[in-house]
């Protein structure tokens, strides 16, 4: 299966280090501070919800219950990330609530940083690099914290998990050493190895089924007494208590939905949560994708497979949002011309869609993030993921404007930025300053609205044929679609870009990031493991290698500093088109070997000398490469026992929100 929601995790890496003159309009709040906290390699940001006061009371009530549902699945994501995740979180929460010892020392300060990092990553493995986070405070100090807070009985079990680097070292084992599943810390499989999992699902799949369900999407595969079976996520099943809370708020939301179609698909979602039936999940997605007229929308469910080494099982997530009507005019133009883009794609005609159906796109403002969308939010979403639903019923694409805006505003609060440090000359800086925000948003629009929905599988090819490389290859394919068309004169004709030079800003940022600057997120000596990073690296390095003869991208050194400079933008666009053609062939034909070869050759290993230089230059800027968010609070306003309004407040304390969530939304038992 291909799961196609992009997770373009914005950071200080030049993506939003420029002004946002093309962004959405906000009510000016001079006192609003976006940057809330910084620790380790992370910055925590606040985001605003524009247009809240213009909503009706019923819309606000609808959003309130959808938001409560979005937070009610938090425990599920923690448990999916790691079997000990909830227990470790409880240990941290107990220390934070009950420790009465000396807190004015370096050891306790290091503990606080560790706690924040674990909360931010929804577990003990880095949210992006996927390596285990080791506490900087000593093991003896951590043990004393546990003793002081009445948790001495747990220390023998918990401390080795936290401190032993050999225990559960990676969320996903992509080292090719040991078994893919048995060597991964994620909690989708219990005692089942890769061959057993493949055989289990191979028996289920029917190659002749033109409307296959997403096998294994909402279950844990367990081996017990020599037998393998699925534990399905549903009410009364695995994660039942949390799912029942989600259902409760979905039922409340359905009563105040904006229209009958929303009520219909919410009830389908409720039915799916009650039964775990993946056919019902497909029915829900078909109904959801067809509803495009509402102002309020949401995602809620087991959706993305990035964390599963097998690329099958989905993490739980949710996002509640409202439509940015003015900004959505741009995405509407793109979706209205979807067939033109498909017909003119550089891929083989046999792998293009003959008829593009149901492509809708809009710009939104996030109101609440949950599960795998919190605290790190996507900048764009394209759903549903099933290829046959996309082909027959279409897809919804969104660009999350207020999250992009918050990243940019937080970057403005920092005195230094990546653009100035890693640009070759003033001409590059000027291009990014003038057009960076516009073309960055357009990349997201094209990636989501058209890229993921483009192309078709060859008859008889399984949507899971690319297996553990499906996510990296799919994100690469959508990126290439966007990059190729950003330089097309059609965008000028449609009035989306102002001139023939604007696209260059995105080409500069993308190549620089993919081939160089994104590696600030990775420790020296490590390889690239995250799907989106692998895709960006593969594209950039493949183009660099293939364009060497004509010097399309040139590696330059000035005053001991390395830069990557594009010398021929049109030839680079041609290379993007060639690679897009090959990736679509790989997907359409299910060519696992070729897909794996591209990623392992160009997308994994980092030049150690270049990496060291990058880390040193970045350290001098004193920036944080990762960003995430504090959710707004939606608070009912009562008068004489009746809710008369819902107000939005913007908390500023990340750790406090995590502690509050731990008390209010802890529905699963700690085993």
DSSP string computed for 143-203: HHHHHHTT-HHHHHHHHHHHH-TTSS-BSS--SSSS-TTTT---SSEES--HHHHHHHHHH
Tokens of 600: 């392992």
Residue 486 lies in a domain: yes
Q: Which of 22-26, 29-33, 446-450 has the highest mean pLDDT?
A: 446-450
Cβ-based burial of 399 (10 A; exposed 0-12, middle 13-18, buried ≥19): buried
Can you tell me which residue has the tokens 């996520």? Answer: 233
Report how far residue 82's alpha carbon sits from residue 89's, in angstroms, rounded to the nearest whole number: 11
Mean pLDDT of the chain: 93
Cβ neighbour number for residue 500 with a 10 Å cutoff: 12
Can you tell me which residue has the tokens 């299910």? Answer: 590
Measured CA angle at 127 (ends 125, 132), to 5 deg:
20
- Output the furthest CA–CA distance in the chain (Å, rounded): 77
Cβ neighbour number for residue 53 with a 10 Å cutoff: 11
Edge-to-edge order in the sheet of strand 626-630: 35-39, 42-46, 626-630
Q: What percent of the chain has pLDDT over 70?
A: 96
* Residue 43: HSE in the Cβ half-sphere, 13 Å Cα cutoff: 26
Nearest to 32 by CA among 14, 11, 48: 48
Residue 662 lies in a domain: no
Using pLDDT thresholds of 50, 70 and 90, give the confidence band for residue 30. Answer: low
**Preceding amide of 384 cis, omega within 30:** yes
User: If you average pLDDT over residues 518-527, what whole number do you get?
Assistant: 91
What's the pTM value of the predicted model, to 2 decimals?
0.80
Report how far residue 438's alpha carbon sits from residue 506's, in angstroms, rounded to the nearest whole number: 9
Residue 303 lies in a domain: yes
Residue-level pLDDT at 1: 35
Can you tell me which residue has the tokens 């009563």? Answer: 255
CA 601 remoteness from chain centre: 24
514 contacts 13 by C-beta, under 8 angstroms: no
Beta strands (DSSP E) in 204-358 are 219-224, 227-232, 296-304, 315-323
Can you tell me which residue has the tokens 């048995």? Answer: 182
Q: What percent of the chain has pLDDT over 90?
A: 83
User: If you average pLDDT over residues 50-68, what whole number do you get?
Assistant: 97
Residue 117 lies in a domain: no
* Residue 201: HSE in the Cβ half-sphere, 13 Å Cα cutoff: 27
Report how far residue 462's alpha carbon sits from residue 466's, in angstroms, rounded to the nearest whole number: 9
Tokens of 425: 């000359």
Residue 559 lies in a domain: yes
User: If you average pLDDT over residues 513-535, what whole number do you get?
Assistant: 93
**622: domain range?**
35-55+246-258+286-629
Residues of 422-451 as b/e, b for ≥16 C-beta within 10 angstroms? Answer: bbbeeebbebbbbbbbbbbbbbbbbbbbbb
User: If you average pLDDT over residues 261-276, what whole number do you get?
Assistant: 98
Using pLDDT thresholds of 50, 70 and 90, give the confidence band for residue 453. Answer: confident
Number of residues assigned to the chain: 671
Tokens of 151: 């948790």
Residue-level pLDDT at 26: 37
User: If you average pLDDT over residues 430-455, what whole number do you get?
Assistant: 91
Q: Which of 130-134, 227-231, 520-524 has the lowest mean pLDDT?
A: 520-524
Ramachandran assignment for 245, one of left (phi > 0), alpha (psi -120 to 50 degrees), beta (any other):
alpha
Residue 454 lies in a domain: yes
Using pLDDT thresholds of 50, 70 and 90, give the confidence band for residue 327. Answer: confident
Nearest 5°: phi and psi at 623? -110, 165
Domain count, the chain: 1
Q: Which of 204-208, 288-292, 657-661 has the lowest mean pLDDT?
A: 204-208
Residue 15 lies in a domain: no
Residue-level pLDDT at 627: 95
Using pLDDT thresholds of 50, 70 and 90, give the confidence band for residue 326. Answer: confident
286 contacts 385 by C-beta, under 8 angstroms: no
Using pLDDT thresholds of 50, 70 and 90, give the confidence band for residue 581. Answer: very high
Residue 506 lies in a domain: yes
Report how far residue 476's alpha carbon sits from residue 537's, in angstroms, rounded to the nearest whole number: 9
């Amino acid at each position: 299966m291909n799961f196609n929601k992009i997770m373009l995790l914005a950071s200080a890496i030049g993506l939003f280090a420029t002004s946002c003159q093309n962004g959405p309009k906000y009510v000016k709040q001079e006192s609003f501070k976006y940057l809330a906290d910084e620790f380790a390699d992370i910055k925590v940001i606040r985001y605003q919800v524009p247009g809240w006061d213009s909503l009706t009371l019923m819309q606000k009530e609808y959003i309130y219950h959808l938001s409560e549902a979005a937070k009610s699945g938090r425990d599920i994501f923690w448990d999916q990330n790691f079997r000990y995740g909830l227990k470790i979180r409880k240990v941290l929460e107990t220390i934070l609530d009950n420790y009465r010892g000396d807190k004015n020392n370096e050891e306790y300060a290091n503990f606080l940083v560790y706690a924040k990092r674990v909360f931010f990553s929804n577990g003990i493995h880095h949210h992006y690099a996927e390596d285990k986070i080791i506490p900087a405070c000593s093991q003896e100090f951590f043990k004393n914290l546990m003793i002081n807070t009445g948790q001495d009985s747990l220390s023998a079990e918990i401390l080795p998990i936290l401190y032993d680097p050999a225990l559960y070292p990676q969320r996903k084992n992509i080292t090719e050493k040991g078994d893919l599943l048995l060597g991964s810390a994620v909690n989708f499989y219990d005692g089942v190895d890769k061959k057993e999992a493949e055989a289990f699902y191979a028996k289920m799949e029917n190659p002749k089924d033109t409307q296959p369900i997403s096998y294994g999407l909402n279950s844990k595969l367990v081996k017990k007494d020599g037998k393998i079976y699925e534990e399905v996520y549903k009410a009364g099943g695995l994660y039942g208590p949390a799912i029942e809370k989600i259902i409760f708020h979905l039922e409340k939301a359905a009563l105040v939905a904006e229209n009958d179609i929303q009520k219909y698909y919410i009830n389908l979602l409720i039915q799916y949560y009650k039964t775990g039936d993946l056919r019902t999940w497909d029915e829900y997605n078909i109904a959801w994708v067809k509803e495009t007229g509402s102002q309020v929308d949401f995602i809620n469910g087991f959706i993305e497979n990035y964390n599963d080494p097998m690329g099958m099982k989905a993490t739980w997530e949710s996002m509640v949002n409202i439509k940015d009507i003015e900004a959505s005019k741009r995405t509407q133009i793109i979706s209205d011309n979807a067939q033109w883009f498909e017909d003119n794609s550089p891929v083989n005609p046999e792998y293009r869609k003959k008829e593009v159906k149901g492509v809708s796109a809009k710009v939104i403002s996030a109101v609440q993030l949950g599960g795998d969308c919190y605290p790190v939010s996507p900048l764009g979403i394209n759903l549903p993921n099933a290829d046959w639903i996309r082909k027959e019923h279409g897809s919804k694409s969104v660009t999350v404007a207020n999250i992009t805006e918050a990243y940019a505003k937080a970057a403005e609060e920092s005195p230094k930025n990546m653009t100035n440090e890693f640009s070759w000359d003033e001409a590059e800086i000027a291009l990014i300053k003038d057009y960076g925000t516009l073309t960055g948003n357009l990349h997201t629009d094209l990636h989501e609205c058209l890229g993921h929905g483009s192309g078709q599988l060859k008859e008889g090819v399984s949507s899971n044929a690319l297996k553990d490389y499906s996510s990296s290859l799919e994100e690469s394919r959508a990126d290439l679609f966007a990059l190729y068309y950003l330089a097309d004169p059609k965008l000028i004709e449609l009035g989306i870009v102002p001139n023939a030079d604007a696209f260059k800003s995105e080409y500069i940022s993308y190549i620089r990031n993919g081939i160089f600057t994104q590696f600030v997120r990775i420790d020296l000596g490590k390889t690239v493991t995250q799907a989106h990073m692998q895709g960006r690296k593969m594209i950039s390095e493949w183009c660099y290698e293939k364009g060497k003869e004509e010097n399309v991208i040139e590696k330059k050194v000035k005053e001991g500093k390395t830069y990557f400079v594009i010398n021929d933008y049109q030839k680079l666009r041609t290379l993007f088109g060639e690679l897009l053609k090959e990736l679509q062939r790989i997907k359409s034909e299910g060519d696992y070997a070729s897909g794996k070869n591209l990623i392992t050759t160009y997308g994994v290993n980092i030049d150690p000398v270049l990496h060291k230089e990058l880390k040193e230059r970045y350290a001098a800027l004193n920036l944080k490469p990762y960003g995430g968010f504090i959710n707004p609070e939606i608070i009912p306003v009562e008068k004489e026992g009746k809710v008369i309004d819902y107000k939005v407040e913007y908390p500023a304390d990340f750790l406090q929100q995590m502690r509050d969530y731990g008390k209010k939304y802890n529905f699963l038992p700690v085993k």
